[in-house]
């Protein structure tokens, strides 16, 4: 990014406002006050309570709906669960290939492909979130936050003078929300701003809670994000084993270094309780833990990955329908058996 573009973004973040143009009219979305945020949260709570008895789907019902209509699958959920870890491992591999440029390009391409696939899966998974009470209430909260902070450009005059508009949002706020989402700053941009000029000099000159002229409680989301990344880069620069500039300036390689450092610390501290339980059971695909109370049951269930939870739900539905099922007839087990049989067939044909 050129210096001028970085400077414009830095000034926008410092100002705490975002310029929005809708139908050739200019608006500013300013940082919501603590009071506005509180009201928005109260609105979310009220809407959520109202919608609990509505026809909207619960999270479990949404998953069942997606599965029944082939809009989502166990395989999709499994990919969604595993891709972040796969991308992590690729980033570590990239960091370790710092002196092998050709191999680095290949791993870079794999990381890019993994990120794109992860983004696509997340978008597909969240596409129907609005038909859940939580998703619908979140939309109302966002509309209130933006609408209550919307001003006409070059004036201190609010577009909405009272809160009555929230019950019947008009076309302006719909368009403002669309443009507001388009103005979203991606993580890689924050990272570039945090380690380059002109922000780096500003940050080094005044590291305090009043850096933006307001107390920390009143910081915008953009300001908090920039402060987070600035502090992270401070910690990296101050680390006795600080990596070279080439690594710091490459987000994926730097992530690889950070992940490596974190894994070293985790190894020194020992594994978490779930990992210790898994280790005691070797490579078992399932582990049964006896629970004594409802609280224990909840805690054990939370240790399952989203994929495991979906498999449990799918198994329960199949058993309810059939009454009794052999293990080999369970949907996920049958699918695994078929996959292995297909692979054995292909391997056999390939070796002929």
pLDDT of residue 284: 57
Residue 158 DSSP label: B
Q: Give the largest CA-CA distance in the chain.
A: 78
CA distance 111 to 86: 9
- pLDDT confidence of residue 212: 87
pLDDT at 338: 62
pLDDT at 226: 96
Entry pTM: 0.76
Q: How far apart are CA 231 and CA 44, in angstroms?
A: 32
pLDDT at residue 164, rounded to an integer: 82
Which neighbouring-strand residues pair with 150? 29
Confidence at residue 56, expressed as pLDDT on a 0 to 100 scale = 92
DSSP labels for 225-241?
HHHHHHHHHHHHHHSTT
List the chain residues with pLDDT less than 50. Answer: none
Contacts of 351 (CB under 8 A, 6+ apart): none
Q: What pLDDT is recorded for position 194?
A: 97
98-149 residue pLDDT tens: 778 889 999 999 999 999 999 999 999 999 999 999 999 999 999 999 999 9
């Amino acid at each position: 990014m050129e210096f001028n573009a970085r400077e414009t973004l830095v000034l926008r973040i410092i100002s705490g406002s975002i310029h929005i143009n809708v139908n050739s009219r200019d608006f500013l979305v300013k940082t919501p006050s603590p009071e506005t945020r509180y009201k928005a949260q109260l609105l979310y709570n009220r809407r959520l309570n109202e919608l609990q008895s509505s026809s909207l789907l619960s999270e479990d019902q949404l998953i069942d709906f997606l599965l029944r209509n082939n809009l989502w699958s166990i395989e999709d959920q499994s990919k969604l669960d595993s891709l972040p870890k796969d991308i992590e491992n690729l980033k570590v591999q990239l960091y370790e290939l710092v002196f092998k440029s050709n191999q680095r390009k290949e791993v870079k391409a794999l990381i890019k492909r993994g990120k794109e696939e992860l983004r696509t899966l997340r978008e597909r998974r969240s596409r129907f979130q609005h038909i859940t009470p939580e998703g619908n209430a979140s939309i109302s909260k966002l509309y209130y936050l933006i609408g209550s902070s919307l001003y006409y450009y070059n004036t201190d005059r609010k577009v909405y003078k009272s809160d009555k508009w929230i019950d019947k949002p008009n076309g302006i706020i719909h368009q403002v929300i669309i443009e507001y989402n388009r103005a979203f700053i991606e993580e890689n941009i924050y990272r570039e701003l945090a380690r380059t000029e002109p922000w780096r000099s500003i940050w080094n000159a005044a590291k305090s809670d009043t850096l933006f002229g307001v107390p920390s409680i009143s910081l915008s989301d953009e300001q908090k994000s920039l402060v987070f990344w600035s502090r992270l880069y401070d910690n990296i620069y101050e680390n006795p084993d600080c990596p070279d500039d080439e690594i710091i300036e490459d987000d994926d390689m730097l992530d690889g270094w950070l992940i490596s450092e974190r894994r070293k610390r985790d190894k020194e501290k020992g594994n978490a309780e779930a990992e210790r339980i898994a280790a005691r059971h070797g490579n078992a695909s399932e582990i049964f833990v006896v629970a004594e109370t409802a609280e224990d049951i909840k805690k054990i269930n939370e240790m399952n990955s989203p994929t495991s939870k979906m498999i449990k739900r799918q198994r329960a539905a199949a058993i309810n329908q059939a009454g009794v099922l052999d293990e080999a007839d369970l949907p996920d087990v049958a699918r695994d058996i078929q996959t292995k049989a297909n692979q054995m067939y292909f391997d056999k044909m390939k070796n002929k």
